[in-house]
């Protein structure tokens, strides 16, 4: 498959993605509204169309316009002990959003999910990856007084959850159903 698209192919691909993820097009009126409300030009990736769709940016702007508080929520599934340049793109944009809106930020490190879906990883490795990735994220320069970063394994659930997840990876649902006689009702 070629990485070069004609305009109609690109538009068709973007339309498919927007429908799949139920997002709306970032259009010029939305960008104009953003600049009018924040007093800042939209991020260069918005202006250049690299980020082409959104979910609820219009609602965020309405909350901002009314002076209502909100928070920014994002995450990362750590699959190695360092982040490459591609991993930093959403965090660079998120930092810009935090600076623009002056709002709190929550970053979830989904080490539990990465452990379950990457067969070769151990719980200990994914927790280590979370800690190392957190350092890379902190280095992006987020406002430390308004940023909360947490690991699912360490913050949300603790040792009992880690053991349960490890067990569930070893014993798939179909085996549990057979072993304990569950019939799906």
Does residue 156 sit within a domain?
yes
Distance CA 99, CA 92 (A): 11
Distance CA 137, CA 165 (A): 26
pLDDT of residue 10: 58
Does residue 4 sit within a domain?
no
CATH assignment at residue 158: 3.40.50.620
Does residue 32 sit within a domain?
yes
Domain limits at 80? 71-172
Same-domain check for residues 37 and 80: no
34-61 tens-digit pLDDT: 999 999 999 999 999 888 899 999 999 9
Same-domain check for residues 161 and 76: yes
59-70 tens-digit pLDDT: 999 999 999 999
Distance CA 83, CA 135 (A): 10
- Phi, then psi, of 184 in degrees rounded to 5: 90, 5
Same-domain check for residues 90 and 160: yes
pLDDT of residue 185: 62
Does residue 88 sit within a domain?
yes
Does residue 2 sit within a domain?
no
3-state DSSP helix/strand/coil percent for the chain, to nearest 5? 55, 10, 30
22-37 tens-digit pLDDT: 999 899 999 999 999 9
Count of domains for the chain? 2
89-118 tens-digit pLDDT: 999 999 999 999 999 999 999 999 999 988
| Domain's final residue, options 28, 48, 67 | 67
Does residue 86 sit within a domain?
yes
Same-domain check for residues 94 and 37: no
pLDDT of residue 39: 97
141-178 tens-digit pLDDT: 999 999 999 999 999 777 888 888 887 787 777 777 77
118-143 tens-digit pLDDT: 889 999 999 999 999 999 999 999 99
Distance CA 38, CA 57 (A): 13
Task: For residue 169, give the nearest of 123, 111, 128, 129 by alpha carbon.
Answer: 123
Same-domain check for residues 82 and 58: no
Same-domain check for residues 23 and 94: no
The burial of 106, by beta-carbon neighbours within 10 Å (0-12 exposed, 13-18 middle, 19 or more buried), is given as: middle
Same-domain check for residues 77 and 46: no
Same-domain check for residues 57 and 147: no
């Amino acid at each position: 498959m070629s990485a070069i698209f004609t305009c109609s192919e690109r538009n068709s691909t973007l339309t498919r993605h927007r429908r799949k993820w139920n997002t709306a097009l970032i259009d010029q009126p939305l960008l104009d509204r953003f600049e009018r409300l924040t007093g800042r030009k939209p991020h260069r990736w918005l202006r250049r169309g690299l980020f082409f769709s959104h979910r609820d940016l219009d609602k965020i702007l309405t909350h901002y316009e009314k002076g209502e508080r909100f928070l920014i929520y994002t995450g990362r599934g750590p699959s190695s002990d360092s982040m490459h340049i591609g991993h930093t793109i959403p965090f660079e944009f998120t930092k810009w959003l935090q600076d623009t809106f002056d709002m709190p930020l929550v970053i979830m490190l989904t080490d539990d999910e990465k452990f379950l879906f990457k067969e070769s990883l151990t719980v200990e490795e994914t927790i280590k990856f979370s800690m190392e990735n957190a350092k890379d994220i902190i280095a992006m320069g987020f406002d430390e007084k308004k940023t909360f970063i947490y690991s699912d394994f360490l913050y949300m659930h603790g040792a009992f959850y880690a053991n349960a997840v490890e067990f569930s990876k070893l014993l798939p649902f179909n085996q549990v159903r057979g072993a304990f006689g569950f019939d799906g009702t």
